[in-house]
Structure 1
Amino acid sequence: MEVLDATKIEPRFKHPTIFQKYENLAVGESFILQNDHDPKPLYYQFTAEKGKEFGWEYLQEGPDVWEVKISKLKVA
């Protein structure tokens, strides 16, 4: 599974880059997002824009590294 390290992305490009990565997924695919803080604001943005089309699973919750598995789900 691919890993996207958000700490290496310029702040103003973080969310657009993450959303582009998500858009490039096929249904059923996922990637792991690594970050240096809890990406909860990103979760709220995904919820607002994608509704139930995405999966969000914490794999690691700090204190130095957060990892979240983001999946593209099939919507009925």
Structure 2
Amino acid sequence: MSRTDLPVTPVQHACGCGDADHGVPELDVRPIPHAIRHATVFGAMSAIPHGGSLVLVAPHDPKPLLAQLADREGPITVTYLDEGPEAWRLRVTRA
């Protein structure tokens, strides 16, 4: 069985709400006011476990944000999924 054939097992939230996570969460920051955009990404990324990923959708290449994120969260890997011009989609993984 290849890695892509493995079943996705939902992970229950520790909060006890009964909901489950499926796949990689996607955060589209384009509608978020610029003044709180970075803080929103920091908060979302802090909820991702080590080895987990978040797909980030941004209106431009977020290199300064990625540097700040690495400083705050430790090592990350970034895979560009789409490179503009209207939206940049990146998979950010906590190492």
Report the TM-score, using the length of structure 1 for normalisation: 0.83
Counterpart of 1:71 in structure 2 is: 93
Quick one: distance in 2 between partners of 1:7 and 1:27?
25
TM-fit CA distance, 1:46: 2.1
SS of the counterpart of 1:8?
coil
Please report the RMSD computed on the Cα atoms of aligned residues, expressed in angstroms. 1.3
TM-fit CA distance, 1:72: 1.3
Counterpart of 1:40 in structure 2 is: 63
Quick one: distance in 1 between partners of 2:38 and 2:93?
16
Instruction: Flag structure 2 segments of 5+ consecutive residues without an equivalent.
Output: 1-23
The percent identity for this pair of structures is 32
Instruction: Flag structure 1 segments of 5+ consecutive residues without an equivalent.
Output: none
TM-fit CA distance, 1:50: 3.5
C-alpha contact 2:46 2:73 (8 A) present in aligned 1: no
Aligned length: 72
Counterpart of 2:51 in structure 1 is: 28
TM-fit CA distance, 1:49: 3.0
Amino acid at match of 1:30: S
Q: 1:4 and 1:40, CA in 2 relative to 1: closer, same or farther beyond 3 A?
A: same
Report the TM-score, using the length of structure 2 for normalisation: 0.68
Moved more, 19-28 or 40-49: 40-49
Amino acid at match of 2:88: W
Amino acid at match of 2:59: D
Q: Which runs of 4+ in 1 moved over 6 A?
A: none
Structure 2 residue 41 is the aligned partner of structure 1 residue 18: yes
